[in-house]
Structure 1
Amino acid sequence: MWRRAPPAANLPPSDELVLRLRVQAQRLSAATGRSATPPVVLREICGLQAQLMSAAGLGLRVRSAGLNAGTVRHALNQDRSIVRTWLMRGTLHLVAADDLGWLLSLLGPIFASGSEARHAQLGLDRDLKLRGVDTIRRTLKDTGPLTRYELVDQLQRRGIRLDPKSQAPIHLIRFAALQGVLCLGPDRENREPTYVLIDDWIGQPSSPSGEPSLGELARRYFAAYGPATAEDLASWSGLPLSQARSAVALAMPALAELTIRGQSGFLLKGRLPRSRPPAPANPAVRLLPAFDTYLLGYRNRELTIPRPPLRRRLQRGGGWLHPAVIVNGRAVGAWRLAGAGPRQELRIEPFEKLSRAVQAGIEAEARDISRFLDFPLETKIAEPA
């Protein structure tokens, strides 16, 4: 167990203050100073989930003024200052390139070993995986970027025989990524992703391991998500709870402790005001994309989505987390893009009656999404359901 951090304040913070601090830490507040490049944003929030690259791009938009989809693509494919690969929770994430080494050295072995049972079901024994990773390395060195289909075809030609209709190929590719061999590269014209060698794409990343990385992960997490708990850190990262608690202990010199609904929570020292700040003059309205890390970053979402029926509307099974409208840190609705071509609509599905100020905030966010995507959008707000 950790040594106790200094208390952040004499009184436990209210739910509203916890949410306000989280919104500020996540760069979702107007007071955050939101203008920044993609790698700066990703470094501050320690990555964005990115199985949908379009959603990750919108996650960068909502956290920084002035970015557009072209800026994000340039950072990913030309500057290569941001990278997409499997990291937290073993899922695809977008991170700053200079964070890749230490994150992989810490998390890669955990998720590679955690998939062994599934690998066995797919016929991926240790020998096949090791031969497969070596063949992937040599293949990509020879060919440069390849799509999944092209890479599997090359593996077959070089003696690594996998059923292309099964999940074995993607599990082998993911295993190679967790070993630090490959990451996702530039998309083809049809938006199909390719795979590249990390060493060829961004150079060999520095990769300190062990306690420094574990403590840094906790410090980064509480900087981006605090106030939060060790259980939240475990849920967000995919670390076992015992290891998450060890991470908190290592980061403790940088943390202050407080109580969140009866639980021990943490945030960076100096983040909690000593007196109750006044309520904001205007509501902070943000349109979060699917799988946004503000919602994924905590084990318990009761503060953000207070009522179970609303949670079910945003979390509709299959691991899918829908785009959300948040006001001062709380979800008040869902949203989606509908239509195709030049007549797309941004449709808002409120959970409650929205004030004029909130509707104005939604309109402002919709205009910014239109600017980011570089096509016109018509906003439609439905009646609460």
Structure 2
Amino acid sequence: MGEKTGKTTARATGAKRAIGPDERRARLALRHRLAPSARAATAEEVAGALVALHATDAATVFLAAAARLAPGGDPVAEVERALYEDRTLTRMHGMRHTVFVVPTGLAAAVYSSTSDAAAARERATLLKHLAAGSDFDETWLAETERQVLAVLAERGEATGTELGAAVPRLRSHYVYGVGTAHEGPQSVSSRVLRVLGMEGRIARGRPQGGWTSSRFRWALVPPHAELPAAEAQSELVRHWLAAYGPATEADLKWWTGWKVTDVRRALAAVGAAEVVLDEGPGFVLPDDLEPVPAAAAAADAGEPWAALLPALDPTAMGWQARDWYLDPAHRPALFDRSGNIGPTVWWNGRIVGGWAQRPDGGIVWRLLDEGAGGRDAVRAVEAEAARLADWVGEVRVTPRFRTPLEKELSAA
């Protein structure tokens, strides 16, 4: 009764609702499908809950999904079904020039809000480099791209090497960085395929080898809807706030890579409601102001949770300001020098340690916060480590970006 009265009074007086770290962690547990009762049945549910799965490291997609799928199935087969058979998930360039896996239904919004502008810059840069370091021009590039698309239309999919054999132009070189200390020959192939991928005309399909491989085959992509940029940005922000709200303007600017004017326009377009966070003003969707059970209450109800999340996991990388779920003292052990987070151990909404896989396949972990959760936490982490080891089996996973604690544990 008191809580309801408090809400009514706050609204009546125009006071902004405060959302503390406990409630933010409770939202994270449920909305990111990490609490046991919130686990997902399909890979599509996982991707939809998180908006986008980081895919710079191919293994992250599978590890992130498996941590959130209900026990009992084959995570690899489930993700491969969605990516390569049903194509309900799409791997594409997106926010911050990073490769993501997104729900196919959201791909058009990502292209129009983010990728198209980045692709235009990438194409302009490539033409500038070709003009400075070769005799190739825009007409030459257009014909090269036409030949690549024709080969893929005929074959269905092909590796970069196969495309180079079928389209000799891709084997051409130009001089990169003319007149600079970085001057040297560079292959046209990777740049052309990158531009076509960023424009959404081709996409990475099945990899060569297993699910940890980053050597992908390329395939044509059906034309995507062209949305007005502002409309697409609003749609993406609506999805993001539903998953990551409350969050600050700076969090959203960092996650999208947009200009602050675009962020503010999109927040206004969705009618984002301002709330008070420990780090300052934050935002939620206008219909998302109701409280959720605090993390402590969830634990009392019998649902404490642990998770072993992979390097570059969407939850760990979801906000720019992370102190509410990560002790700043743990950053040096868990991040590389470029700001990429490694494999993390979570307990009730906080990062409390890290994990790694040894060459013999063993999953090893360490708590950096020894007082977090006591024996309950240790037992829960042990159970998650056993679950991970069981489905990974004989596969060896080495993160693309190594962090101090991951390297130390994997060598133990």
Q: What TM-score do you get using the length of structure 2 for normalisation?
A: 0.78
1:333 shift after superposition: 0.7
SS at match of 2:173: coil
Q: Which of 70, 79, 83 does residue 72 from structure 1 map onto? A: 79
Equivalent-residue separation in structure 1 for 2:88 and 2:151 (angstroms): 24
Q: Does 1:358 align with 2:377?
A: yes
- Most deviating of 109-118 and 131-140: 109-118
Q: Does 1:286 align with 2:307?
A: yes
Which of structure 1's runs of 4+ aligned residues deviate more than 6 A?
6-9
1:77-112 deviations in whole A, cap 9, x for unaligned?
A: 222221212112111111122222232122222212
Q: Which of 340, 346, 352 does residue 320 from structure 1 map onto? A: 340
Residue 302 of structure 1 corresponds to which residue in structure 2?
A: 323
Q: Which runs of no fewer than 5 residues in structure 2 stay unpaired? A: 1-10, 176-184, 397-407
The alpha-carbon distance between structure 1 residues 129 and 88, as it changes in their structure 2 partners (threshold 3 A), is farther
1:283 shift after superposition: 3.2
Equivalent-residue separation in structure 2 for 1:9 and 1:286 (angstroms): 36
Equivalent-residue separation in structure 1 for 2:269 and 2:338 (angstroms): 35
Q: Which of 235, 244, 247 does residue 254 from structure 2 map onto? A: 235
Residue 136 of structure 1 corresponds to which residue in structure 2?
A: 148
Q: Does 1:51 align with 2:56?
A: yes
Q: Does 1:93 align with 2:113?
A: no
Equivalent-residue separation in structure 2 for 1:86 and 1:271 (angstroms): 30
Equivalent-residue separation in structure 1 for 2:232 and 2:48 (angstroms): 14
1:126 shift after superposition: 6.9
1:50 shift after superposition: 0.6
1:183 shift after superposition: 0.5
1:353-379 deviations in whole A, cap 9, x for unaligned?
A: 1511111111221232134324599xx
Equivalent-residue separation in structure 2 for 1:337 and 1:131 (angstroms): 46
* RMSD, matched Cα: 3.0
SS at match of 1:57: helix
Q: Which runs of no fewer than 5 residues in structure 1 stay unpaired? A: 1-5
**Is the Cα–Cα contact under 8 Å of residues 50 and 243 in structure 2 kept in the other structure?**
yes
How do 1:111-122 residues align onto structure 2 when only pairs under 5 Å count? Answer: 111-115=118-122, 119=126, 122=129
> How many aligned residue pairs are there?
362
1:167 shift after superposition: 6.4
Q: Does 1:331 align with 2:351?
A: yes
Q: Which amino acid aligns with 1:326?
A: W
1:287 shift after superposition: 0.8
1:19 shift after superposition: 2.4
Residue 34 of structure 2 corresponds to which residue in structure 1?
A: 28
SS at match of 1:166: strand
Equivalent-residue separation in structure 1 for 2:245 and 2:148 (angstroms): 40
**Is the Cα–Cα contact under 8 Å of residues 132 and 160 in structure 1 kept in the other structure?**
no
Equivalent-residue separation in structure 1 for 2:145 and 2:264 (angstroms): 33
How do 1:54-203 residues align onto structure 2 when only pairs under 5 Å count? Answer: 54-66=59-71, 67=73, 68-115=75-122, 119=126, 122-123=129-130, 127=138, 129-155=141-167, 157-158=168-169, 161-162=172-173, 166=186, 168-189=188-209, 191=213, 192-199=215-222
Equivalent-residue separation in structure 1 for 2:188 and 2:292 (angstroms): 56
Equivalent-residue separation in structure 1 for 2:86 and 2:238 (angstroms): 27
1:317 shift after superposition: 1.7
1:227 shift after superposition: 1.0
Q: Does 1:372 align with 2:391?
A: yes
The alpha-carbon distance between structure 1 residues 240 and 370, as it changes in their structure 2 partners (threshold 3 A), is same
SS at match of 2:311: coil
Residue 3 of structure 1 corresponds to which residue in structure 2?
A: none
Q: Which amino acid aligns with 2:190?
A: I
1:111-139 deviations in whole A, cap 9, x for unaligned?
A: 12444685367537871554443332222
Same amino acid, percent of matched pairs: 23
1:44-98 deviations in whole A, cap 9, x for unaligned?
A: 3211011222111111112221351121112222222212121121111111222
